[in-house]
């Protein structure tokens, strides 16, 4: 029961309190770039969630059974980015072969994810936070869902911005960032809620 509670706390806090985009600033580029339409935002969010889960499931054993026993901790960055890049490629090839429909929906977003700092960030953070395997997987699921939530919410706001009259210097990225700032402000309201719920 105690473990289950820990997992729920990790999940909820990574979705709401420590949301990767809005509180930890990882994956801002796709957040600003691909959030203009809701279907694109959902596609990107789902792909990121899947890749985060897979990446954590692969990098955690590598860190604990390969890098740590041989004292190769300093190779972490290099190994992780290579693993994630090849993993993304492999997922794309497999999807293309076995599920062309899914590949059509998500395939276009996959190559972009290699350079998404949220994926590398979540793999490294799971190691630094000292999570065990199950906790790491749950935490990366939470981060992925948080990313999806932020993307979908934000695409709704952006479609409203598109229809309103924005002063010329603020057009484009400036007003987008300011809108993102307000969402982030509202997410700050979640701080403390998760701890209080399970105290």
Name the minimum Å distance from CB 199 to another protein: 24
Q: Report the candidate in 8, 73, 15, 78 with the shortest Cα–Cα distance to residue 45.
A: 15
Site string for another protein, 85-124 (x = CB under 8 A): x----------------------xx-xx-xxxx--xx--x
Q: Is 125 in the site for another protein (CB under 8 A)?
A: yes
Burial tier of 106 (Cβ tally within 10 Å: 0-12, 13-18, 19+): buried
Q: How far is CA 14 from the centre of its chain?
A: 10
Interface residue with another protein among 90, 93, 188, 197 (CB under 8 A) is 188
d(Cα 111, Cα 109) in Å, to the nearest integer?
A: 6
Q: Hunting for tokens 């054993």 — which residue is that?
A: 61
Interface residue with another protein among 9, 40, 42, 157 (CB under 8 A) is 40
Contact in structure between 147 and 23 (CB atoms under 8 Å): no
Give residues in contact with another protein (CB under 8 A): 22-30, 32-34, 36, 40, 44, 74-78, 81-82, 85, 108-109, 111-112, 114-117, 120-121, 124-125, 128, 168-178, 180-182, 184-185, 188
């Amino acid at each position: 029961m105690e473990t289950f509670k820990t997992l729920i706390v990790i999940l909820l806090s990574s979705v709401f309190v420590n949301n990767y985009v809005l509180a930890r600033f990882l994956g801002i580029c796709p957040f600003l770039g691909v959030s203009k339409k809701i279907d694109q935002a959902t596609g990107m969010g789902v792909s990121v969630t899947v890749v985060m889960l897979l990446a954590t499931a692969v990098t955690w054993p590598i860190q604990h059974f390969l890098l740590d026993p041989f004292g190769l901790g300093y190779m972490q960055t290099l190994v992780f980015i290579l693993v994630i890049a090849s993993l993304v490629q492999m997922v794309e090839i497999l999807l293309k072969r076995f599920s062309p429909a899914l590949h059509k929906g998500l395939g276009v977003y996959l190559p972009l994810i290699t350079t998404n700092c949220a994926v590398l960030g979540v793999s490294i953070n799971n190691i630094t936070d000292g999570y065990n395997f199950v906790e790491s997987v749950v935490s990366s699921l939470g981060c992925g869902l948080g990313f999806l939530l932020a993307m979908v919410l934000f695409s709704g706001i952006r479609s409203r911005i598109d229809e309103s009259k924005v002063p010329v210097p603020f057009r484009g990225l400036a007003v987008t960032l300011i809108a993102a700032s307000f969402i982030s402000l509202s997410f700050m309201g979640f701080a403390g809620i998760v701890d209080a719920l399970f105290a």
